A and B are shown apart, each in its own frame.
Chain A
Amino acid sequence: MKILSSVSIRKSLLIAFITLAILPVIFVNSVLSWKNISFQQGQAVRNQQEIAKRVSIIIRSTIGNIKYKLFSVSSQNNLLNIPQEELKTLLSKTMHIGDDIHKDAINSIALVSESGMEVLKVSRTEIYTSSNSRNLSTSDEYRMPYTTGLEFVSNVYIDKETGEPLVILALPVKEPASGLIIGVLVAEIRIAFMWDIITSIQIGKAGAAYILDSKGRVLAYRDPSLILKKTILKMPPKTGLGKGLLGENSVTASEQLRISNQIYYVVVELPASETFEHLSLDIMSIVSFLMLSLTGSISLWLIVSKRIIKPIEALSHTAGMIESGDFSLKSHIFRKDEIGRLAVTFNKMTDRLTTTINSQKVHIENYEKANKNLEEKSRQLEELNRHFHIEMNVRKKAEYQSAQINHLAALGLMTTAIVRRTESHSEAIVETVKTLSKQIDPDSAAAISVASLLRTSENTLNTLQVIMALGNSDNGVRQPAAISEIISECVHICETFMGNDIHIYLTIPNNLPDIMLQPQLVRLVILNLLCNADKFLDESPGNANFDRTINIQASEIQQEGKLLLKLVFIYSDLTPRSQITEDILFPFSGNTAKNIFDDIWLNIIKSIMSDLGGTLNIEKSKTGSSIINMELPAFKHLNTR
């Protein structure tokens, strides 16, 4: 099936048609021919056997007649005592009288006496005289008849003088009265008549008859050269199809012919080709039928090929061309049958496909054009966007800066007012506390509280002074600043104010990016985170001294493509307050604007951070520490320090 699937329909059909044409004819005719062969062979054998029988009858009859003539002589009374001339006449008459065959058949007759000596001989060619007399006493032709009383026939021999085949036929001469053998009549018989009989028989066109002796030697055949060559065939002659004198394939039939002591076989042979001549005709008929069948099959195949395969191939070719991209090809089948309709549909389909493809091409072209336009527009839009963003950024920045400036200005004013008011209050408080502390027993518990209060007041006053100083020094111009320097400065200030109550550890790499801002604001934030952390961080329970440790870690980070400077303030033993209470804002308590300033530090810091474009958040670690994360926009300054 796999093989068939790979064979083209055209070949498959051809094979199928030829097989259908040949196989039945061959099968039927083989059976018929086989029967025919058997019949014809049998018929030929019967016919040939009949011929062989007839030939043997003719030969037997001829020899019989000759024997009869000789017997009529041998049985005469007193044959040996008949006078020579009379005997000669008798023998001559015996030799010459008769029809053509019998008369010519006897070549010579000799009367042999009891002693084996020739008494008289008459011959067709020789003159016999007493001096020619032979002694035959030791020869078979004398001994056999004489001893057995039976006639004797010698083997066939060729006369060297005449080249003729001869046999000797010898009959005993008996005394009629006593039956005693008194001599032998020896006749030389020319058996050329057998040749003539064999030659005269027409057996088919190429058939032949021949006579074999008991040893298989050919005695008579139309080609005497075979006889002269002493050709010997296998004995006994086979009946039926086999090897013969004519060749390997002959149909032979034979008939045994017994003449006295000799056995001959008359064989009639016909070449198998002739025997089965009708079979040849049958084969010719078969071949003719086969040719007709083949012609029919091939015609049918041609028609089918023409009507079906070729159009399909044309369609296939067209489809192939279309598949390879050539839509110009059309199927040129103008018929009204199924294939014609298929071709028309195919052409329509091709047309439609062509139209669709063409429209698709137009669409693609349009799409490509649109794409290009879009790209161009996008590019322009991007350009515009970029410009827009730049403008927006510039504008935003400007607006922002303006708002910041305004805000800072307002804040500054407000802060200045607060600070001024607070400063005077703080100075008053400090003075009051100082006075109070002088009045209180320095060893009393109140003294500790007063001392603490004094310290706080002084811190607050310092802070306010710092803020005032900062506010006075801030000119609102932003500039690159190194955070490490700011932190160091803030730490220094804080340590100056806080003394031993604070322990600050710095982890700050050298090559941190710079920040672009007003350094004072940052300094303010950091300073507040260091010095006033307790304003928004809850002091650790049990640590009333506010003896705190602050770790400051600085690093640069990338976030969403932006370079940020990250500052982490880790406060040990401090947690963020749940809320900013009045207690915390102790320095400002008693002020009517108390609520206004709730969370003021945190809000100020957050506001500053926001203004700086950074963030600030507070979280609590697992160990109870507070962590303040600060992130500020940074940049790598060309002259990074």
Chain B
Amino acid sequence: MILFKRTRTFFFIAISAILLISCTNKAEEKNYLLGIVNPNPKLEKTIKSFKAAMASNGYEEGKNISYYSIFKQHDIDLKLPELIKQNPDLILTFTTPGTKKTLDAVRGTNIPVLFGILYDPLEGGIIDDLVNKKENITGVKVAGSVQKALEWLPGLKPGIKNVFVPIKFDTQAARLSLAELSSGAEKLGINLQIAEVEDKAQLTSALSAIPANTEAMFILNSILIVSNIDEIVSKATMLNIPIGSNTGQIDRGVTITYGQDSEYTGKQAARLAHKILMGAPASGIPIETAHFKLGINLKKALEIGLTVPDNILQMADIVVR
């Protein structure tokens, strides 16, 4: 009887060991943690698109990926260390300040950083080279479309020479995009009527003081300006002048845009995130330029009395009718 019991115990241990070995052989599905640092609420659309694209790549929130989001500027300093402690697989950042703080926080760790949208990380001081980066970072830059966006305006309304540009330098992108715009305007022989404002009141005031020869407006990457786009659109409509922009906002009444599309950029960032999560080092992935899309708000164009040429409509990626 004792022998039987011993033998039974021995068999039990042996079979358990075999089962244990078999079980350990099964690959355990990884659960990813992604941090999102986005102090700009206007980019929510991009994040949504990013998450959707991630899901289509197989990263389903709550299933095999979870997001730790920091949405407010003042939360960054508070919550970022907590996020780093959790050793996320990747941190998705937006805006130059948000990206800078994140990059400082992850320094010394292997946590990769992916910026979803940055106007120009090179000029913004995030990286020192677009290809050979020292930091474990990559992302999508949106610079490069301002000149072309400006170029599209004469196509919509030939002969434009004076363009009103309200701006607040509340972002790095605002300065850089204005510089790019100025360069393009010079090439095209366009005169920029730059109105620097500090707040909404000043904007209102500037709008009310638009020069009489103004033939178009141009919206750059300024939070204040983009946040008050409705007022600007309203004024432009009143003046029957088109608005050009590199920031999208086509659905908010901007007549013609050429630049990154929030949805598409979100997808683009998601593709880079997928690469990183697949094992590619972020530092080795070249920074991509956002896909620039041509958008026409046909409805607004007609409203201000413009006839949009067919070839433009044919080339347009987005048409708001």
Contacts and interface: CB of A to CB of B under 8 A. Distances in A.
Contacts of A125: 144-145, 147-148, 289, 292
What interface size band does chain A fall in? 35 or more
B83 to A, nearest CB: 26
Given A124-B148, A228-B132, A292-B18, A299 B10 contact: yes
B279 interface: yes
Interface stretch (B193-201, B233-241, B280-288): B280-288
A177 interface: no
Contacts of B317: 96, 103
A189 B240 CA distance: 39
Contacts of A228: 131-132, 284, 286
Contacts of A163: 130-131, 286-289
A123 B285 CA distance: 24
Interface string B267-289: 00001001100111101111111
A104 interface: yes
B88 interface: no
Contacts of B294: 96
Interface string A30-42: 0000000000000
Interface string A279-321: 0100010011001100100110011001000000000000000
Interface stretch (A217-225, A394-402, A443-451, A575-583): A217-225
A162 B7 contact: no
Contact of B18 (A123, A124, A160, A288): A288
Nearest to A95: B315
Contacts of A295: 10-11, 14
Given A288-B18, A291-B17, A291-B18, A223 B280 contact: yes
Contacts of B274: 199
B78 interface: no
A303 B7 CA distance: 8
Interface in A125-165: 125-127, 129, 158, 160-164
A129 B188 CA distance: 8
B314 interface: yes
Given A129-B187, A162-B130, A288-B18, A225 B271 contact: no
B157 interface: no
B151 interface: yes
A224 B289 contact: no
Nearest to A285: B22
A280 B286 CA distance: 37
B212 interface: no
B25 interface: yes
B208 interface: no
Nearest to B315: A96
Nearest to A100: B291
Interface in B79-106: none
Contacts of A302: 6-7, 10
Given A196-B271, A303-B7, A224 B147 contact: no
Nearest to B122: A161
Given A223-B280, A291-B17, A92 B10 contact: no
Contacts of B280: 222-225
Q: Most chain-B Cβ atoms within 10 A of its Cβ — which of A96, A196, A199, A287?
A: A96
Contacts of B289: 125, 162-164
Interface string B142-162: 001101101100000000000
Contacts of A89: 311
B124 interface: no
B1 interface: no
B315 A93 contact: yes
B283 A127 contact: no
B278 A222 contact: yes
Contacts of B144: 124-125, 161-162
Interface in A151-204: 158, 160-164, 192, 196, 199
Contacts of B314: 93, 97
B238 to A, nearest CB: 30
B209 interface: no
B22 A288 contact: yes
A164 B286 CA distance: 7
24 contacts: A89-B311, A96-B315, A96-B317, A104-B291, A124-B144, A125-B148, A160-B131, A162-B288, A163-B287, A164-B286, A199-B271, A222-B275, A222-B278, A222-B279, A222-B280, A223-B280, A223-B281, A223-B284, A225-B280, A228-B132, A228-B286, A292-B14, A295-B10, A302-B6
Interface of B: 3, 6-7, 10-11, 14, 17-18, 21-22, 25, 27, 130-132, 144-145, 147-148, 150-151, 184, 187-188, 271, 274-275, 278-281, 283-289, 291-292, 294, 311, 314-315, 317
Given A127-B147, A127-B188, A299-B7, 7 more contacts: A93-B311, A126-B147, A127-B151, A163-B289, A223-B279, A225-B284, A291-B18
